[in-house]
A and B are shown apart, each in its own frame.
Chain A
Amino acid sequence: MIETRDLWVRFGLVAAVRELSLSAESGGWTALIGPNGAGKTSALRALAGLVPYDGEVLFDGRDAQRLGRRALARLVAFVPQKPETPLALTVGEYVLLGRTPHIPYLGGESRSDRVAAARALRRLELEGFAERLLGSLSGGELQRAVLARALAQEAPVLLLDEPTTALDLGRQQLVLELVDALRRDGLTVVTTMHDLTLAGQYAERLVLLDGGAVVAEGTAVEVLSAPNVAAHYGANVRVVEDEAGVFVLPVRR
């Protein structure tokens, strides 16, 4: 379980995240939503320990700032919006890099690391790809390789920054289904998301940020109301609700 208490992220005089207190249950999927500049990515990066912050981030009650880099990396895997994928590395080499927090600083992979990497590849149906170069993969395969690297980290928490940017509709669903399958395996998932409909479809808990602060949180039905979206995105939308979920549809102003 992840908890933040009174979390502030400041860049100089600007506060990107203010007083964020949230808790994400183990095995759950929490989506941080909000307009551009709302502080979604900063909040996610604070959870990953990548930006300095005030306040507390707790993993199962343990203070992240007291954990140290490596210990934190064994608890939290982070996939940035545009992951760096050196094109001339093989998929196997790339996924093995996910084992870094389990390997001594100047050491090399042990047998268990190689097995864990193979397991991650299998989980994402990339068994035959270990020898392939990253540069030879299609967009969808590359996305799976990135997830496999994060999975090889064997951290109980998976943080994804905008996992569906630059993907077409079909691939967006494919990736989100994969993430959902990993969540059902027991991972705690926190993502930032732009697409409100998709966020509502996959995450059971939405946290709407604006100006760095939480302005609404709860289920899709609770958070994705037309007034909420109008107030915080400045967008004119129609919200349709049926048994398949909540759909946020833009309407021309």
Chain B
Amino acid sequence: MATAAGSAQEAPRVEARGLGLRALLVAAAFLAVSVAVGLAVGPVHIPVGSILRSALSYVPFLHVHQPLDAVDRAVLWQLRAPRVALAALVGGMLAVAGASYQGVFRNPLADPYLLGVAGGAGLGATLAIVYASATAAGSNWTVPLAAFGGAIAAVIVTYVLGRSAGATSTTGALVLAGVTVATFTAAVQTFVQQRHTDVLQNVYSWLLGGFSTATWSDVAVCAPYIAVSSLVLVLHRRVLDVLSLGDDEAASLGVDVSRARLAIVVAATLGTAAAVAVSGLIAFVGIIVPHTIRLLVSTSYRAVVPLSLVVGAGFLVLADVLARTVLTPAELPIGVVTAFFGAPFFAVVLRTSRGGR
């Protein structure tokens, strides 16, 4: 095994484009601007400078004067900040999960809901709204917990079903199993809804997703899952590149393909389920963000995975700003915003990048 360490100084080397510093800086700047806009914009405008000084005033020993009065402070730190933080967490998670699913299943249309997360969460939430909230006027956590449990249960059923279907083409079998589970959960959910039309409104407003009731405890509840999941996925970025060569070649390069796939699917699912539990179903983020990065930066997962995390966070924060400002004082469901602005934007990206890289 020649390593040629001695002559490495002069020896030519091959570099992967990887995660370019420039792309990372641009993505970070985009996230920073999104967060600033998210905190500043609303019925009460709070200048970015005041936000910064207000934040610094909480840092001990800095002696920065708090520039905001009690009301503005409450608006900023108890209403907007948790909302921005939650949107960033959910957006980053959905985008990074979408990128990972697309890699694992080698399917550009795979999204985080592919394996039944959405159907399971929807069914769980519906059952909770219909049966639990109706009777016990359940706590705030009944619906998210039921959604989380439903999502995880649905994906486990999908995985068991997919594995039992055939070892030869595991990804194809898994995707089919996901479709099966999603169809079944959708049927049950519709059936339950039809029997309880009085709660239809509640169910739909949950399903359409949003951050209008975001609190710091929502953030605290989902942050650990999202942090661990996205860390696992970011660490697997090179493995995802290897998996893009197909199962056989990945295996012949020494990767235990089914174990790697399981690790990635578990991480993506757990994070997505946590995100769905606190935000409902938000379409399109998991597809549009990774593909935009593929078109503008690189198709290598070394770039796509970490950049999806950062850009997805910024994207959903901006989408949430639109959701709460376009029709003030009413709110648009955020899923409508992501699709309404996302689709044309993506169309432009598709057109302009043609024949580019």
Which residues of A are in contact with B by a Cβ distance under 8 Å? 45, 48-50, 69-74, 76-78, 80, 83-84, 86, 88-90, 92-93, 95-98, 100-103, 105-109, 111-112, 114-119, 121-122, 127, 130, 133, 153-154
Kindly name the residue among B13, B17, B235, B244 whose own CB sees the greatest number of chain A CB atoms within 10 A: B13
Q: Is the CB of A115 within 8 A of B13?
A: yes
Extra contacts, 6 of them, besides A50-B252, A83-B245, A100-B253 (Cβ < 8 A), are: A45-B248, A77-B252, A78-B248, A84-B249, A86-B299, A97-B253
**10 closest Cβ contacts across the A-B interface?**
A73-B254, A114-B13, A88-B299, A101-B254, A70-B254, A78-B252, A100-B253, A117-B14, A84-B246, A92-B14
Chain A residue numbers with a CB within 8 Å of B11 are 115, 118-119
Q: Is the CB of A116 within 8 A of B254?
A: no
**15 A–B pairs (Cβ distance < 8 Å), ordered by A:** A69-B256, A77-B252, A80-B246, A89-B244, A89-B299, A92-B14, A92-B15, A95-B14, A97-B245, A106-B236, A107-B238, A111-B8, A115-B7, A121-B14, A122-B12
Chain B residue numbers with a CB within 8 Å of A106 are 235-236, 238-239
Q: Is the CB of B253 within 8 A of A153?
A: yes
Q: Is the CB of B12 within 8 A of A127?
A: yes
Whole-angstrom distance between the Cβ of B94 and the nearest chain A Cβ: 23
The residue that A112 contacts in the complex, of B8, B241, B246, with Cβ under 8 A, is B8
Q: Is the CB of A108 within 8 A of B256?
A: no
Given contacts A77-B252, A84-B246, A115-B13, contact A105 B239 (CB under 8 A): yes
Interface size class of B (residues with CB under 8 A): 35 or more
Kindly name the residue among A72, A96, A107, A121 whose own CB sees the greatest number of chain B CB atoms within 10 A: A96
Q: Is the CB of A109 within 8 A of B252?
A: no
B41 at interface by CB-CB < 8 Å: no
Bound CA–CA A102/B256 (angstroms)? 14
The residue that B254 contacts in the complex, of A45, A69, A121, with Cβ under 8 A, is A69
Bound CA–CA A15/B226 (angstroms)? 47
Whole-angstrom distance between the Cβ of B11 and the nearest chain A Cβ: 5
0 or 1 for each of B12-55: is its CB under 8 Å from A? (1 = yes): 11111100000000000000000000000000000000000000
Whole-angstrom distance between the Cβ of A51 and the nearest chain B Cβ: 10
Q: Is the CB of A154 within 8 A of B253?
A: no
B294 at interface by CB-CB < 8 Å: yes
Bound CA–CA A101/B1 (angstroms)? 12
Bound CA–CA A72/B256 (angstroms)? 12
B135 at interface by CB-CB < 8 Å: no
Whole-angstrom distance between the Cβ of B165 and the nearest chain A Cβ: 15
Q: Is the CB of A74 within 8 A of B254?
A: yes
The residue that B13 contacts in the complex, of A49, A72, A111, with Cβ under 8 A, is A111
The residue that A154 contacts in the complex, of B2, B16, B294, with Cβ under 8 A, is B2
B347 at interface by CB-CB < 8 Å: no
Q: Residue of A at shortest CB range from B244?
A: A86
Q: Is the CB of A100 within 8 A of B254?
A: yes
B255 at interface by CB-CB < 8 Å: yes
B251 at interface by CB-CB < 8 Å: yes
Bound CA–CA A111/B246 (angstroms)? 26
